[in-house]
């Protein structure tokens, strides 16, 4: 599935606006008009990211097998064409603190794929408001039957972490650990890498 630049631009602007409207509506309970639109846009984003990921994985596999360079070139073009989607990082992170399970789960899946494909590109995914959203998600779902949510969230943070933000993240984690909110085995190695 190759997406045109125009489709990607429309998706970025529409999803950005829908996320802002949804989060504003969530603050003012009773108005949930944008939920259906937001879910449809998140599903579209998730499908685009899954297809992009599949193409990239196939290209990497064919590269290991010394097959034609055509797949690699197509994957590179697709990554470049879809790069503007990384601008959605901050919006997706803010939706992790949504009351709607469908919204935060789909946002988490999209964010996971985005950081796998593009790392920390796009808007600052580790601003204080984004760190609060991550903290909320980790604390809210710490008693889940499976640690999948925490593991996925920490992998996302690890991929977003530039060296300069390590101290902010460590301070936030320490504060939550002191409160007993996090029960996940994580530490920073001597090189500053997050190890979970």
Tell how many helices (H) and how many strands (E) occur in the chain.
8, 2
What pLDDT does 146 receive? 66
Percent of the chain with pLDDT over 70: 73
DSSP 143: T
Helix 35-64 and helix 5-27, axial crossing angle in degrees, nearest 10: 140
As a whole number, mean pLDDT of residues 42-70 equals 86
Distances (CA, A) of 122 to 90, 177, 189: 8, 29, 26
Q: What is the mean pLDDT of residues 9-37?
A: 82
Sorted by where each begins, the domain ranges of the chain are 1-88
- The phi, psi pair for 191, rounded to 5°, reads -85, 0
* Residue 192, phi then psi, degrees to nearest 5: 90, 5
The C-alpha atoms of residue 67 and residue 136 are separated, in whole angstroms, by: 45
Distance (Å, whole) CA 32 – CA 120: 31
pLDDT at 192 > cutoff 60: no
5-27 helix and 70-82 helix, angle to the nearest 10 degrees: 40
Q: Determine what percent of the chain is predicted with pLDDT higher than 90.
A: 34
What's 83's DSSP letter? G
C-alpha span between 26 and 20 (Å, rounded): 10
For residue 123, pLDDT beyond 50: yes
Beta bridge partners of 98: none
- Quote the pTM value: 0.78
pLDDT tens, residue by residue, 146-155: 688 888 988 8
pLDDT of 44 reads 95
- With H, G, I as helix, E, B as strand and everything else as coil, classify residue 5: helix
Q: What is the mean pLDDT of residues 12-34?
A: 80
Is the pLDDT at 48 greater than 90? The verdict is: yes
């Amino acid at each position: 599935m190759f997406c045109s630049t125009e489709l990607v631009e429309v998706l970025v602007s529409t999803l950005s606006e829908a996320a802002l409207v949804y989060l504003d509506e969530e603050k003012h309970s009773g108005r949930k008009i944008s939920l259906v639109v937001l879910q449809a846009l998140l599903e579209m984003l998730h499908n685009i990211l899954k297809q992009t990921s599949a193409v990239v994985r196939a290209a990497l596999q064919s590269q290991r097998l010394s097959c034609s360079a055509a797949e690699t070139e197509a994957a590179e073009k697709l990554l470049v064409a879809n790069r503007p989607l990384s601008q959605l990082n901050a919006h997706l992170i803010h939706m992790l603190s949504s009351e709607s399970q469908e919204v935060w789960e789909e946002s988490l899946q999209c964010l996971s794929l985005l950081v796998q494909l593009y790392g920390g590109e796009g808007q600052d995914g580790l601003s204080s408001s984004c760190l609060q959203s991550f903290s909320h998600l980790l604390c809210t779902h710490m008693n889940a039957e499976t640690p999948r949510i925490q593991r996925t969230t920490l992998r996302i943070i690890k991929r977003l972490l530039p060296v300069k933000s390590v101290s902010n993240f460590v301070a936030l984690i320490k504060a939550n650990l002191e409160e007993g909110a996090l029960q996940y085995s994580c530490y920073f190695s001597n090189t500053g890498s997050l190890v979970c």
